[in-house]
Chain A
Amino acid sequence: MKNSLDESKPIFLQIKEQLEDSIINGTIKAGERVPSTNEFAAYYKINPATAAKGINELVAEEILFKRRGVGMFVTDDAKQLLIESRKKTFYENYMLPLKSEANKLQISLEELMDMVKREDEFNEN
């Protein structure tokens, strides 16, 4: 959980992305309860309606489901669904800026590929 939010970005999106990240990296698992609108509002001192918007979008996307009177919980398929949708935006969110910066620095495709591979070896050690 981040300590504070970025005031220049939509708050509901940041709440949503935080929950998504926690589900993807396994901090919150399938079937577990996620913080409520009021808990988010109190923690970040944000408008509860704004927090609710982020959570409700995740319900609509079947990442969370509501148990009446108990709270919001992570669905069984949540992690898989999130990974699928993040993969779709991976290219534009990560590859495009990477290529554009490489281009600016006149890094050739070969050099770039070398770096990608170097990172892999580093991770395996």
Chain B
Amino acid sequence: MKIEVKGLSKKYGNKLALNNISFALDDPKIYGLLGRNGAGKTTFMDILSGHITASSGEILIDGEDPFDNQRLTESICLIKEGQNFKKDLKVKNVLKIYSFFYPNWDQVLADSLIKEYNLDPNSKVKTLSKGMESALGITVGLASKAPITIFDEPYIGLDAPSRKRFYEIMLEEYQEEPRMIIFSTHLIDEVSLLFEEVLILREGTLVLQEESDILRSNTIAVSGTIDEVEAFISGKEVIEKKQLAGMMTAYVYCTVEEAKMHGLKVEGVPIQELMIYLTERKKGA
């Protein structure tokens, strides 16, 4: 499916949660949607899922507006960090409802995930721990087999081994049947290897959309004496620089080869760190 975002803005009162963002996603890839708290990620995902409307601009999925659009909403599954399900429903009834809603629903997968996460089908949602409720969300998200599956920080309270299993199963499912998975999380170091493409939001604007391996090859940290580094980075887009005892390290967009030719010490920048530097940059800097 193809998602086109055109001049999308969302205002809550006076506050702009999304400020005129435009981009397109058109492949069944695993996308990482990153940004700090309040960057607009959740607002974007809510509009994409047809839960709320935009203030201006639009999102088109295969050319149609997702808001109040039955044909599209059965192709989109959004799992949030909590309150995905009615508190009084039993686990088995949650699964039943979603199995009716999603045409590609995979009951075998749902059953195996319920076992995997030790979820009792007869427990009511309100009796589940935070981690268990997250496990149920993950189960629904994966078993929905929705062509657009969106996970917005889906694992509050879920322990590390359970998160690891989630990544493994998500990858297995994706390999068997590639679909568009949009994944938003703050645990970037855990998942950055799963992303094929990364989008970074800051204060309601899109600061970056790039293939993650291209990011890894084109963003580097160069170190050397202050003079050497300053000479090298002049004219380049500098993300961040710091200095200590006459030495300087600068984070720039450029290739390893280019920096090596200048005799500078070069290191790669993990996506987690890049996100921090890109979103820390103050207004007007």
A-to-B contact residues, CB < 8 Å: 5-13, 38, 41-42, 44-50, 53, 92, 100
Contact = CB atoms under 8 A, between A and B. Distances in A.
Contacts of A50: 193, 196, 212-213
B278 to A, nearest CB: 15
A8 B175 CA distance: 24
The residue in B213, B217, B270 that gathers the most chain A C-beta atoms within 10 A of its C-beta is B213
A11 B213 contact: yes
Interface of B: 29-30, 167-168, 171-172, 174-175, 189, 192-196, 212-214, 216-217, 260, 263, 267-272
A41 B217 CA distance: 20
> Taking chain B's interface residues, is the majority helix, strand, or loop, or is none over half, making it mixed?
helix
A11 B268 CA distance: 12
22 contacts: A7-B189, A7-B192, A7-B270, A8-B270, A9-B268, A10-B216, A11-B193, A11-B212, A11-B216, A12-B213, A42-B172, A45-B194, A46-B193, A47-B29, A47-B171, A47-B195, A48-B174, A48-B175, A50-B193, A50-B212, A53-B213, A92-B260
A8 B171 contact: no
Nearest to B188: A7
Nearest to B27: A49
Given A44-B193, A45-B194, A7 B271 contact: yes
